[in-house]
Amino acid sequence: MFDHHPKFTSPRTELQAFVENQHDGLLDAAEQLGGPDGLRLAHTVIDGLRRPQTPTERTLTACRELLELLMLEHVHDPARVEAERFALLDPAWPVVEDICLLADEFHDILEDYLNDASSKPVQVAA
């Protein structure tokens, strides 16, 4: 009768599920926008989030860098590979919209995770 189900997943689980479900799209977009370095970055994110424990700082840094790549943060800098690779894209290509949607969703999920992680108390070993 009711189609509403409570959400029992954590922001970390949501982030891990998103990256797993969008594995191919993240790899393709990262390579399209960042070349081999972008592809390595996406692999670092995917591999880091496949681990069952809390993501390491290295993985979270890679997540932030991948988001910057997907959000086209550095395409204006001619010293970066993104500028050259972005210039080769035709805005009318369907892949451009796909990358934008992927970037927006990744942004929201990563932001939720980071906000949740920063609101938890830090446990210090005795």
Q: Which residue has the tokens 């395409």?
A: 75
Distance CA 48, CA 66 (A): 13
- pTM tops 0.95: no
Summarize the confidence of residues 64-72 as an average pLDDT.
97
pLDDT band at 25, cuts 50/70/90? very high
User: For the segment 34-61, what is each residue's pLDDT rounded down to a tens digit?
Assistant: 999 999 999 999 999 999 889 999 999 9
For the chain, which residues make up each domain, given as ranges?
11-115
Q: At a CB cut-off of 8 Å and minimum separation 6, what does 48 contact? A: 55, 56, 58, 59, 62, 63
CB–CB of 29/99 below 8 Å?
yes
Residue pair 74/68 in contact (Cβ under 8 Å)? The answer is yes
Do 48 and 15 contact (CB within 8 A), yes or no? no
